[in-house]
Amino acid sequence: MATLKDIRKRIRAVKSTRQITRAMKMVAAARLRRAQESIEAMRPYAYRLRETIWEISRSADVDAHPLLANRPPKRVMLLVLTSDRGLCGGFNSQINRETEKYILEHTNDHEDIGLTVIGRKGRDYFKRRPYRIEKIHTEVLGSVSVAKADEIGQEIIAAYQDEGLDAVFMVYNEFKNAVSQKVQVERLLPVVPEETADTSEQGVEFLYEPGKQEVLSAVLPLYVNIQIYRAMLESVASEMGARMTAMDSATKNAGELIRKLTLTYNRVRQAAITKELMEIVAGAESLKG
C-alpha cells in the first residue's frame, strides 16, 4: 500500500501536469482563433478561383494546358499534411490511417504511389513502414506562408508537367469547428474544373487578353498553390482545435485523478491516526495491568 508521502508526491505531480495541460489548452485556443480567422478569410478566394478556372476552361480543349491533362493514374503522389508536434488527440492518426487506407485500396489501380509528407508526425509514421517518401517538409505549419505553399506547389507542378506523375491528391484535415475535423482526400492534379451554383450561365462568353492560353498558364499554377495554402490553413486550424479539445479532456481527467488521490490520502491518513490511537490505548491498558 502506498504511503502518505508517496500519495502527496503523486498529487503534486498531477497538479503540475494539470497546470501544463491548462496552459496548453489556452495557447491552443488563442492560436485556433487566429487560424480560424485565416481560413475563413481564405476560403472565399480559393472557391472563387475554382469558379474562375471553370469559366475559363469550360470551352477550352483539355490539351490547352498540361495541368488539365487527364492521364491514367499509374504514377500517383499523395501530399500528406500532419503536424510537427503531438498532444492533439487523433489528429495525426486519422490522417495516417486514411493515407494507408487509400494506398491499400488503390494498390491495383496505381502502379506507383509516392508520398510528400508535411510534418514530423507523418514523417516518423511512414518512415517505419514500407512506403516510398519522395519529399519531407517540416516546420511548415508552425508559420504558414504563401511562399512555402508556392515552393511545394512548384515542385509538384514540375513533376506533373514532366509526366513523372499522373495524379496528385492531398490528404488533410478539413476544419469544421473546434471539436470536429474531417479527413479529406482531395484531387490536386490534374485540375478538374467543376461547375458550382455560383458559376455563370454557360451561354455567357468572355474575351481574354492576351489570350485564353496565356490566362490559363497564369491562373492554373496559382490555383494549385492556393489549394495547397488553403489545405495548410485548414490543417493548422484542425490541429489547434484537436489540441484544445485534447488538453481540455486531459485537464478534466487530472482534476478527477486529484480528487481520487486526495480521498485516498485522507483515508490512509485516517487509518494511520486510528492505528496510532489504538497503540496508545493498548499501551495505557498494559500499564494499568
Catalytic residues: 88
| Closest of 86, 17, 64, 23 to residue 193, by C-alpha | 64
261: phi then psi, degrees, rounded to nearest 5: -65, -40
Residue 63 near residue 151 (C-beta atoms within 8 A): no
How far is residue 183's CA from residue 99's CA, in Å, rounded to a whole number?
Answer: 10
How far is residue 191's CA from residue 50's CA, in Å, rounded to a whole number?
Answer: 10
The C-alpha torsion from 37 through 41 and 47 to 50, rounded to 10°, is: -120
Report how far apart the first and last C-alpha atoms of the chain are (Å, whole number): 35
Where are the strands (E) in 138-244, listed by range? 167-177, 180-189
How far is residue 156's CA from residue 245's CA, in Å, rounded to a whole number?
Answer: 34
Other CB atoms within a 10 A radius of the CB of residue 231 amount to 25
- Burial, 143: exposed, middle or buried (Cβ in 10 Å; 0-12, 13-18, 19+)? exposed
